[in-house]
Structure 1
């Protein structure tokens, strides 16, 4: 069985590609990389076709990641993807709302979760949102990275449980 995850933010150039890359590394490290496919998308077409923001790549590199991130091209989430996804991770409440509206069926709506809902700190409400770093400086991208990292192991464990069921 292959487990499919899509990470979603606004334009697919900051938060969602960062989470995609971090999660891909975490699943590889957990020995699940061959069973989990991770991609990302945006809720808008504002950045469609563009590469990841340079500051996103710089944040990954500052934190010791050495992957080749040059192939990323922003794209828009397609509601038909719900048919073959197992988990759709939203970066903030706006994305969560848009995705659940696109989902249509209750089954598809149940696939949509906030990234930070997997953080072991047990966050609630507004604390679940990963703020858009686009408007900030390097520290904003580092904050985004820290919030993704805090949730990453919880996402891996969630998927691991589903793969053994």
Structure 2
């Protein structure tokens, strides 16, 4: 059974599909293509059925990423329960996912995406930031191309950390 990763943002048309595209490539490059499945969703149904935002698509394409056919949807409780790792784009998304999780185990699999960026602020321990919202991936929706490029840069900066985390999880799975 593959390891299942879901990226989650608000409407599932900008940040989460961008992260999905980046992670798919990074997992493929790491030789984990068949072992890891990546998809995305949103916490809102306001964009239900819509494709990836044209600006996000342009930035991804220009950066050399494949942008799969995609229709936005709101994450369900069943999806939360069935994913091994839920990567929230913001602290608000993480809080919502945790409240919707059907059990503690599912809630415990919700992690802020940017927490895997080695240069991001720490959220616990000595010298830590006070609020996990300091790890939010910038919302490009109301901005211009530069805002989409900033979001992509934040997503790319954490991607290798996500891959390494999943690699460790897969190794632990194979030992048990």
Q: Residues of 1 paired with 2:81 and 2:137: CA distance?
A: 26
Unaligned runs of 5+ in 1: none
Q: Residues of 2 paired with 1:83 and 1:140: CA distance?
A: 32
2:70 to 59, 69, 72: 72
CA deviation digits over 1:92-126, x for unaligned, max 9? 11101100000142211110000000001142433
Q: CA RMSD in A?
A: 1.1
| Equivalent residue number for residue 143 of structure 2 | 136
Q: Is the 8 A contact 2:92 2:133 kept in 1?
A: no
CA deviation digits over 1:54-89, x for unaligned, max 9? 000111122122x243x1100110011133210001
Unaligned runs of 5+ in 2: 124-131
Greater Cα radius of gyration, structure 1 or 2? 2
2:113 to 112, 115, 121: 115
Q: Residues of 2 paired with 1:81 and 1:126: CA distance?
A: 24
Count the aligned residue pairs.
163
Q: Residues of 1 paired with 2:133 and 2:94: CA distance?
A: 12
Runs of 4+ in 1 over 2 A off after TM superposition: 124-127
Q: Residues of 2 paired with 1:34 and 1:102: CA distance?
A: 29
TM-score by length of 1: 0.95
TM-score by length of 2: 0.89
